[in-house]
Structure 1
């Protein structure tokens, strides 16, 4: 929405024209050369005021609404460990930092059994050079992450079971999917449903610009047999999230599509206040089939 400033309402352009006609037109032919010079100077001043008002009042109307900035990181799954359950999961978020324009890449390796990052992670790379491409930051992050990926056996690329990318017009609070290698024969198997809720939580980061309102989330999983389980619920948001304002369900990853007991991951998008607007980052929430 565009708001016009007070000067736009204080004077209309016909009003200004009347002012010029009233005060800048010589009423006495004998004003002399000095008087004419003064009137010419006053005319220039009034025209400058007119141009300024045009810039203030008409400029926003011509340019349209101003888009709010921020940065939405992309995500990539780097897969699961090769053990039967797929205990360890690696993923990356990367993009260009708002404000600075610096490329960044963060790689996380999560122990899905304990729901914690493994030691020495996450790996965070920020190239303080806006001329560098995102790929340069990603390469550095991956080089640092490779020894840890080898240590935890991250060699199974895994599969995407469901997805709702940022720009897709869909319900961002729910994802439904099946565990099957043959989708043509899977209707009889029933489906899994993830349900996300945004909830008010205590402000730990002095987010006064949001009127003290900080959002957390809860996440539940309903299995094909109708049994529902709460995967995540919170009364506070970790300080590492900054000032979160909203959450979206983004994707589901698993080691494979077979109907067997494995770990899986729900990727949740976190919107929090950045330097120029809302930034998007990601949280991996583990569950199991």
Structure 2
């Protein structure tokens, strides 16, 4: 009961801060949707850079092939200016990213379809949480979700944090007792789908190597999941994973979408 009360109080505080925040480096997200055949999923994440004198806005639109779980074109569409004298606003960055993404979204007819099947409401995915509160957000975020979508037959989406190869020196992201045994490693994650019997039936994702673009993660957790069942085809699942890492003035929060078909 005590833990539940503490979490509730923290959630209320974060909600007030999140709704008032004009700066910080915790991304918010917008779900764009699936293509009619379920082969593509897209979402946007955006925020204000935590980068010293610059409060530059940025936006990233990820268009993902759900059959391969790879970016269309090999990378996301990203509008960002990291110079300290940048005057790019969040609204300007989002408008530029939307303009670049529009032809691909139209080509694949990606639109709002499918439904959200699970969410950890304490992740505040709609908000740019102030950076000095991200560490507390990181602590209460959970590593499992229970989807409420019977057609998938999933009881739990389970995230496990693992060590994986890294070309980037991530020793600073480990505590002192770990640093000597983690050379060439970084925190990655594994996503497993468990059936109604509680047994794993699909490995949705497992990091073999952690890309430098993740900026030496300190932890991962689950935010929400979305599902879409095209006519005559297997359902498609998109899981949004939170990635936390150390930024310029505090923790950063970004989203990673993991997608796949569910038999």
TM-score (norm 1): 0.65
SS of the equivalent of 1:149 reads: helix
Aligned to 1:149: 105
Displacement after TM superposition at 1:287 (Å)? 2.7
Q: Which moved more, 1:238-247 or 1:103-112?
A: 238-247
Residue-by-residue CA offset, 1:121-149 (whole Å, 9 max, x unaligned): 41111256665531221111111100011
Distance 1:271 1:236, change over 3 A: same
CA distance in 1, matches of 2:95, 2:64: 20
Matching of residue 159 in structure 1 with residue 133 in structure 2: no
The structure richer in strand per residue is 2
Whether contact under 8 Å (2:147, 2:154) holds in the other structure is yes
Q: 2:234, 2:140 → 1: CA distance?
A: 29
Alignment of 1:59-208 (within 5 A): 71-83=25-37, 86-99=38-51, 100-119=54-73, 121-127=75-81, 132-165=88-121, 166=123, 172-180=142-150, 191-208=154-171
Distance 1:92 1:191 in 2: 26
1:210 equivalent in structure 2: 173
| Cα distance in structure 2, aligned partners of 1:174 and 1:287 | 17
Give 1:109 shift: 0.3
Q: Is the 8 A contact 2:42 2:61 kept in 1?
A: yes
Please list every run of 5 or more consecutive structure 1 residues that lacks an aligned counterpart in the other structure. 1-68, 182-188
Distance 1:255 1:273, change over 3 A: same
Please report how far the alpha carbon of residue 256 of structure 1 lies from its aligned counterpart in structure 2 after TM superposition: 5.6
Task: Write the distance in 2 (CA, Å) between the matches of 1:205 and 1:121.
Answer: 19
How far apart, CA to CA, are the structure 2 residues paired with 1:146 and 1:175?
Answer: 32
- Higher-Rg member (1/2): 1
How far apart in 2 are the matches of 1:192 and 1:259? Answer: 23
Q: Structure 1 258/159 Cα, relative in aligned 2: closer, same or farther at 3 Å? A: farther
- Structure 2: give runs of 5+ residues left out of the alignment: 1-22, 125-136
SS in 2 for 1:209: helix
Distance 1:233 1:145, change over 3 A: same
Seen in structure 2, the aligned counterparts of structure 1 residues 208 and 133 have a Cα distance that, compared at 3 Å, is same
Deviation at 1:156, TM superposition (A): 3.9
Q: Match for 1:282 among 234, 255, 260?
A: 255
Cα distance in 2, alignment partners of residues 270 and 111 from structure 1? 21
CA contact 2:154–2:193 (8 Å) conserved in 1: no
User: Normalising by the residue count of structure 2, what TM-score does the alignment of the two structures yield?
Assistant: 0.71
Q: For residue 255 of structure 1, what is the aligned residue in structure 2?
A: 228
1:260 to partner: Cα distance: 7.3
The change in CA–CA distance for 1:137 and 1:227 in structure 2 (over 3 A counts) is same
How far apart are the structure 1 equivalents of 2:80 and 2:32? 20
Q: Is the 8 A contact 1:179 1:257 kept in 2?
A: no
Tell me if 1:266 matches 2:239: yes
Question: Given the superposition, is the C-alpha separation of residues 157 and 140 from structure 1 closer, same or farther in structure 2, using an over 3 Å criterion?
Answer: farther
Q: Which residue of 2 aligns with 1:224?
A: 196
In the superposition, relative to structure 1, how do residues 258 and 266 fare at CA in structure 2: closer, same or farther (>3 Å)?
Answer: farther
| RMSD across aligned positions (CA) | 2.9
Distance across 1 between alignment mates of 2:76 and 2:24: 22
Identify the range of structure 1 (240-249 vs 200-209) with the bigger mean alpha-carbon deviation: 200-209
Whole-Å Cα distance in 2 between the matches of residues 227 and 247 of structure 1? Answer: 22
